[in-house]
Homo-oligomer: A and B are copies of this chain.
Amino acid sequence: MHRFIVKGLPEAAAGKAVDLPREEAQHAVRVLRLREGDGVELIDGNGRVYAAEVARADRDGAAVLVRGGLPGREAPVSLTLYMGLPKAEKLELVAQKLTELGAAAVVPVVMARSVARPEGKDGEKRRERLERIALEAVKQCGRGRVPEMAAPLGWKEALSRMASHELMLVPWEEARGTRLGDVRAENPGARDIALLIGPEGGIAPEEAQAALAQGAKLVTLGPRILRAETAAIASAAAVMALWGDL
């Protein structure tokens, strides 16, 4: 199934003809070679997905006829990943996988042991690249919402934002005993979860203590030492299995 993002679709789009945005139309015509009558899906970026049919596809563009809304594919839990700024290619992998897993946002954080540093104008280019990766992943997995790919935050700002979520989960190598499943048993109804994953060098003890003081649940991810990106993807999957729809 080919999917296109059309922002600003009216909620009552069924029965309407809609022009695909220029880039999407070019891709539909030149690369996918779609023709009149082909079934596609439209994503509005705010959570809604529609079944549609190609009404016109030629060198001037492409239009589709919206058939009707499809069942939602957003997770019943809002998961925001705060991640100690890792190397660019790791963050790109995480952005793609977290989008598929249904996360609401990915927020890089400059932490004590971050090796990578945000880089002014280059930083904004990198963020835009993450947004493109997330958009592609949205189309691939068929969800209706595009997760936020935030600009890197400093630690204090990140900590304050994390504390505003209903539940703050902090997997930490030195945490002992408490597992994600234990936190789930005590907070089965949590619907707005922040997850903090350290950078390659891990979370510094003073950061873990500061998070704890803000109400974080420090948890173990088991006795094996996971790479930062593995920890992010695996714990997001576990959160979605425990609280969400995986």
Contact = CB atoms under 8 A, between A and B. Distances in A.
B225 A142 contact: yes
Given A180-B246, A181-B242, A73 B224 contact: yes
Nearest to A223: B73
A223 B242 CA distance: 15
A96 to B, nearest CB: 8
Contacts of A217: none
Given A179-B246, A246-B180, A246-B221, A233 B226 contact: no
Contact of A237 (B71, B100, B141, B234): B234
A165 B246 CA distance: 23
Given A230-B101, A238-B241, A225 B140 contact: yes
Nearest to A76: B222
A230, A233, A238, A246: most-surrounded residue (chain B CB, <10 A): A246
A100 B224 contact: yes
B143 A224 contact: yes
Given A238-B237, A238-B241, A241-B241, A226 B180 contact: no
Interface in A210-246: 221-227, 230, 233-238, 240-242, 244-246
A181 B72 contact: no
A198 interface: no
A97 interface: yes
Interface of A: 71-73, 75, 97, 100-102, 140-143, 179-181, 221-227, 230, 233-238, 240-242, 244-246
Given A100-B224, A234-B246, A235-B246, 13 more contacts: A140-B227, A141-B224, A141-B226, A142-B224, A143-B223, A179-B241, A179-B245, A179-B246, A180-B241, A221-B246, A223-B245, A237-B237, A237-B238
